[in-house]
Amino acid sequence: TGFCFQTKTAYAAWIAKLWEEKPPRFSRALLETLALIAYRQPITRAEIEDIRGVAVSPTIIKNLLEREWIHIIGHKELPGRPALFATTKQFLEHFNLKDLAELPALPQIEQNSAQTEQKEEKVEEIAKNP
């Protein structure tokens, strides 16, 4: 997908000073939309909105298309022929995946989420009762 700039490790400190790159921050809405596309592809915007329960901003779809993380793979045979979105090779490369099978299983994500909630509850409990 283009070029990759590589240098000798010995020059890393100098290059880091010249080329300070901050990782971009992505909104929760953008990441939720991308996750839904990755797990449920092909998927329409309306299906994403039904699952999320809120409208998907056109800016989010535009941003994902511009980054080439998603693309339109066709249109669903429904009135209005809505676009079907799927992830791209650039998506896999950016997130260091060989294929979609390497995505965490959904039960694993739910388990991680439940564990995080339990930890947050414990922290709140400790904070209330020092």
pLDDT digits (tens, 9 = 90+) for 31-75: 999 999 999 999 999 999 988 889 999 999 999 999 999 999 999
| pTM across the whole model | 0.66
Torsion (CA) 117, 69, 102, 4 in degrees, nearest 10: -120
Percent of the chain at pLDDT > 90 equals 53
- Averaged pLDDT for residues 6-33: 85
Which range is least confidently modeled, 9-13, 28-32, 107-111, 125-129? 107-111
- Say how far apart CA 100 and CA 104 lie, in whole Å: 9
Q: What distance lies between CA 111 and its chain's CA centroid? A: 19
The single-letter DSSP state of residue 125 is H
- Say how far apart CA 77 and CA 37 lie, in whole Å: 18
Query: What number of residues does the chain have?
Result: 130
Q: What is the mean pLDDT of the chain?
A: 85
How far are the Cα atoms of 10, 29, 87, 98 from residue 57, in angstroms, in the given order? 44, 9, 18, 29
**Alpha helix ranges (H) inside the chain:** 12-18, 28-40, 45-52, 58-66, 89-94, 106-128
Q: Which domains does the chain have, with CATH numbers?
A: 26-104 (1.10.10.10)
Higher pLDDT, 115 or 97: 97
